[in-house]
Amino acid sequence: MEQLGFEFAVQPRRLTKVSPARLATFADCPRRYRMAYLDRPTPQRTGPWAHSTLGAVVHNALRALFDVPPARRTPERAAALVSEHWQDAGFADGDQAAVYRARAKEWVAEYVEHHDVTSDPVGVERWVSAPVNPEPGQPASMIIEGRADRIDQRGGELVIVDYKTGRRAPDEYEARGSQALAMYAVAASRTLRRPCHKVELHHLPSGTVAEATHTPESLRRHLSRAEETAEDVRLATDTLEAGGEADTLFPARPAPRCAWCDFRPSCEAGRQAAPAAKPWELLAP
């Protein structure tokens, strides 16, 4: 029988789904990536960290703020939302938690006072996903996805906004160098079909807004680096599934950050690399 032109020997390339969090975890420590995303059951982890609790509370309060009518998005309402979402997990004691609850209320109240929050964003905690290839016109080589804190529309273009509550105020170079923000910009543009080049880091403790405007070339560079890491992840994962040695494919990378790694209880190399940090040591001073 005459063949109809199908080439059965050619298998379509499997697209790897990647998120900024997964790529950053693998780049920092492949063993931590394996423990977080591949090992089942999940290995023993540390307890909660106060700085993570604080960040989650602030994010949740700002997300909830956009659920109320614009006229009610006041500093007082923002502060009240912090109290409604507050948790004490990871803090040294109730007194320390109370100090940071008061600080968080002050941060979000000042943020609302100095920023226009009356316009509804295009997305709040918006999931975006898109198949991409760093080289224009080529078939997709991976699927980038993630959840953006906020997506604004300004002057016909989208803007990615990311909230920060860490110890150090970011600058333009950090905004421009953030692979996560670049990936959100590309995925948002594809998902929502509007141009997106501007990204912003909003640091609530200092009131700093660090912004950067990407070019097609700078976004392509970020995607190329993401693709390289994604390929390393895919190869290591496939080899592990085929019977490869876990610690060889996903080696530990001991460093000072091992002091506050979630998987420290399950990683001897991490415990030897640095003394354990207290759950509240990474709070903004």
User: Can you say whether residue 42 is alpha, beta or left, with left for phi > 0 and alpha for psi between -120 and 50 degrees?
Assistant: beta
Residue 101 has pLDDT above 70, yes or no: yes
- 50 or 17, which is more confident: 50
From 189, 62, 188, select the one nearest 115 (Cα to Cα). Answer: 62
DSSP-derived 3-state class of residue 238: helix
DSSP-derived 3-state class of residue 197: strand
Distances (CA, A) of 145 to 27, 36, 91, 154, 163: 17, 18, 32, 23, 18
Give me the mean pLDDT over the 25-37 stretch. 97
Residue 105 has pLDDT above 70, yes or no: yes
Reduced 3-state DSSP string for 13-80 = CCCEEECHHHHHHHHHCHHHHHHHHCCCCCCCCCCCCHHHHHHHHHHHHHHHHCCCCHHHCCHHHHHH
DSSP type of residue 204: T
- 76 or 136, which is more confident: 76
Q: Using 50, 70 and 90 to split pLDDT, how confident is the model at 65?
A: very high
Give me the mean pLDDT over the 101-129 stretch. 97
Instruction: Tell me the sheet residues that pair with 130.
Output: 144
Structure confidence at residue 5 (pLDDT):
45
Structure confidence at residue 4 (pLDDT):
46
Give me the mean pLDDT over the 177-202 stretch. 97
The four Cα atoms 84, 89, 94, 97 give a dihedral, to 10 degrees, of -60
Structure confidence at residue 15 (pLDDT):
82
Taking all residues of the chain, what is their mean pLDDT, rounded to a whole number? 94
Please state the φ and ψ torsions of residue 54, each to the nearest 5 degrees.
-60, -45
Reduced 3-state DSSP string for 101-135 = HHHHHHHHHHHHHHCCCCCCCCEEEEEEEEEECCC
Q: Using 50, 70 and 90 to split pLDDT, how confident is the model at 137?
A: confident
Residue 12 has pLDDT above 70, yes or no: no
Give me the mean pLDDT over the 45-59 stretch. 97
Residue 234 has pLDDT above 80, yes or no: yes
Name the burial class of residue 105, with classes exposed (0-12), middle (13-18) and buried (19+) by CB atoms within 10 angstroms of its CB: buried
Q: What would the pLDDT profile of 160-185 be if each residue is shown by its tens digit?
A: 999 999 999 999 999 999 999 999 99
Residue 6 has pLDDT above 70, yes or no: no
From 176, 71, 190, 172, select the one nearest 129 (Cα to Cα). Answer: 190
Structure confidence at residue 167 (pLDDT):
92
Give me the mean pLDDT over the 122-146 stretch. 93
User: How far apart, in whole angstroms, are the C-alpha atoms of residue 64 and residue 43?
Assistant: 33
User: How far apart, in whole angstroms, are the C-alpha atoms of residue 228 and residue 83?
Assistant: 43
Q: Using N-to-C axis directions, what is the helix angle for 75-85 and 94-114, rounded to 10°?
A: 150
From 81, 138, 70, 88, select the one nearest 108 (Cα to Cα). Answer: 81
Structure confidence at residue 13 (pLDDT):
62
Structure confidence at residue 284 (pLDDT):
83
Q: What would the pLDDT profile of 260-271 be if each residue is shown by its tens digit?
A: 999 999 999 999
Residue 3 has pLDDT above 50, yes or no: no
Distances (CA, A) of 133 to 72, 140, 224, 232, 242: 43, 5, 8, 16, 27
Label the pairing between strands 16-18 and 142-154: parallel
